[in-house]
Amino acid sequence: MRVLAEADLRLDAGPIDYALLVIYFVVVLGIGVMARRSVSSSLDFLLSGRSLPAWVTGLAFISANLGALELMGMTANGAQYGMATVHYYWIGAIPAMVFLGLVMMPFYYGSKVRSVPEFMRRRFGKPAHLVNAISFAVAQILIAGINLFALAVIIDALLGWPLPVSIVVAALVVLAYTTLGGLSAAIYNEVLQFFVIVAALAPITILGLIKVGGWQGIVDKVTDKEQLSAWPATELTGIDNPVWSVIGLVFGLGFVLSFGYWTTNFAEVQRAMSAKSMSAAKRTPIIGAYPKALIPAVIVIPGIIAAVIVPEMAQLKAGDTSSGVVYNNVLPLLMRDLLPNGILGIAITGLLASFMAGVAANVSSFNTVFTYDLWQDYIKKDRPDEYYLRVGRLATVGACVLAIGTAFIAAALGGSNIMDYIQALFSFFNAPLFATFIVGMFWKRMTPTAGWVGLLAGTFTAMFIYAISEPSFGIKWLELPGQGASFLGAGLAFAVDVVVSVAVSLVTRPKPDSELVGLVYSLTPKEDRSHATTGEDAGWYRSPALLGGGVLALTTVLYIIFG
């Protein structure tokens, strides 16, 4: 009998493991120092001078999303819900990423805006811009704090460092390389992190598969056979009727939530905006889609295996919570049970790297929005560029300090639940934002007033659905366990935003056509939307449409095999 549940997770890290971890931190900081040499303007610092090749921005695109919450959360979902978790990677990501690359990047990159809120300002004017810029900036700080807190909890569990020490140390490392090298350092480290995470997860998966007896072993040993197929995912959605469950998945997760997240979240889109050409920008999310489609192999599969081979996890799954283990502990438990010293160090490094990259993505997108969209637009206009470069650096420092603050608040509030609410709160902005963007990009008649009114109407709809369905609020007009409520909320928010936007547009005055060139489909000449196919953009294998079709086909095949 173990008395302390936390003690279960403590890893037996040796000198060799710490040495591998230290090497990684030295390289990470080295990248910051080296990237500093090529920063000479605010655009260099905040948008990498739009100079990066597509494979770099593409991997960073996926890596920025592969943060702590994602890694722990999705292995946990794998253990709890089984194969249905792949929906978050396939239908819940791939179509939206291809859409972003082929349909939306021409406007984002072609209009030369420096951020998603800036696109909002040019298309709809200041009220919509302010709503978007402020909500994004606040969300990034809070989410950075959540990431820091999650990081500290895991370091405490794995290595026994006190919470405050890990929060501050991690924040200082992120601060050091992002203040020095700006977005380039953040992106380079994200790419490096991608490989380290795969190097950490692949051995866990392979050893897990050997231990469980291969794929056949999984099929034999998973007790709930429904968890071996992805559809209809009734447990995941909380919708009992299989037909409605599939509709909820396809429309709620696959369309509204996923398109809202991937196409309007500046922390993601920023990676594509830093690409060196229109072709590279279009390819960024599509190149990222390939690893996104394949990575469930080393995230979802280990989760499923853990539920079978880790005794505490099997107990939990059978409804016995006495060991104190929760689903989020899947990765640390597998590391404890499978990895010897050496590769254990790589796995610890991979986990910490993932947490830090999440924070760095929050911070590096915050400082761009703060500098260009808030400071330059509303506080100090028309200063020389060095001034804004300095503001960008100071904003980075400010963001890290504030994130440490929110991390400590999270710790004081007792952890994860309150942070789930905050995550949910900001997800309310995504679905309506996508509705506003998509109507605004394809309908020139949509007016500036409709821009912000639609956005607010959609957001309030999402909040309303959340309030009446979240069990702990006690209103309970709507009972949907699992993810069903957020699918419904996002879907309705999208619909309300579209209806309100159209209605308001019909009674208010649109912007003149001349101001919408490059921002609206029908007013943008085809040449401005297409990419060059010469020089470094030449070759059939660099065609965004072909690559996009390829990843959609790959996803379809994966669904046929594992669905």
Partner 1 sequence: MRLFDLRVIIAFLFGLYGVVLVVVGLGFTSEDDLRKAEGVNINLWAGIAMVVLAAVFAAWATLRPQFAKTGKG
Binding site for partner 1 (CB under 8 A): 16, 19-20, 23-24, 27, 30-31, 34-35, 38-40, 44, 48-49, 51-53, 56, 184, 188, 191-192, 195-196, 199, 202-203, 206-207, 210-211, 276, 337-343, 346, 535-536
Residues in the chain: 563
Question: Taking the complex as a whole, how short is the minimal distance between the CB of residue 555 and partner 1, in angstroms?
Answer: 25
Which phi and psi angles does 318 have, rounded to 5°? -85, 0
Q: CA nearest 150: which of 377, 394, 397, 406?
A: 406
CB of 31 to partner 1, least distance (A): 7
For partner 1, the closer CB: 63 or 406? 63
Q: How many CB atoms lie within 10 A of CB 247?
A: 16
Which lies closer to partner 1 via its Cβ, residue 199 or residue 468? 199
Pick the closest to residue 88 from 264, 304, 236 (CA basis). Answer: 236
Residue 49 or 296 having the CB closest to partner 1: 49
Instruction: Tell me the closest approach of the beta carbon of residue 266 to partner 1, in angstroms.
Output: 21
Residue whose token pair is 């470094």: 536
Quick one: 210 or 219, whose CB is closer to partner 1? 210
Residue 25: CB minimum distance to partner 1, A: 11
- Distance, CA of 299 to CA of 205 (rounded, Å): 8
The two three-digit tokens of residue 531, written as one number: 């990419």
> Is the distance from CB of 185 to CB of 367 less than 8 angstroms?
no
Output b/e per residue, 449-469; b: 16+ Cβ within 10 A: bbbbbbbbbbbebbebbbeeb
Min. distance of Cβ 51 from partner 1 in angstroms?
A: 5
> Closer to partner 1 at the Cβ: 319 or 535?
535
Residue 52: helix, strand or coil by DSSP? strand
Query: Least distance (Å) from partner 1 to the CB of residue 194?
Result: 10
We find the least distance from the C-beta atom of residue 539 to partner 1, in angstroms, to be 13
Q: Cα–Cα distance between 326 and 8 in angstroms, integer?
A: 11
Instruction: Please report which residue ranges of 443-525 form alpha helices under DSSP H.
Output: 448-469, 484-507
DSSP state of 340: P
In the complex with partner 1, the residue whose CB is nearer, 140 or 277, is: 277
177 phi, psi to nearest 5 deg: -80, -30
Contact 290, 551 (CB under 8 A): yes
Q: Which is nearer to partner 1, 38 or 315 (CB)?
A: 38
State in angstroms the smallest separation of the CB of 44 from partner 1. Answer: 5
By beta-carbon proximity to partner 1, the closer residue of 21 and 257 is 21
Q: Shortest Cβ distance from residue 188 to partner 1 (Å)?
A: 5
- Sorted by sequence, the CB contacts under 8 Å of residue 320 that are 6+ apart come out as none
Query: CB of 298 within 8 A of CB of 200?
Result: no
CB of 389 to partner 1, least distance (A): 13
DSSP string, 341-380: TTHHHHHHHHHHHHHHHHHHHHHHHHHHIIIIIIIIIIIS
Terminal Cα distance for the chain, rounded: 40
Hey, which residues does 52 pair with through a beta bridge? 275
Q: Closer to partner 1 by CB, 206 or 413: give it.
A: 206
Can you count the helices (H) and strands (E) in the chain? 25, 0
37 vs 381 by CB, closer to partner 1:
37
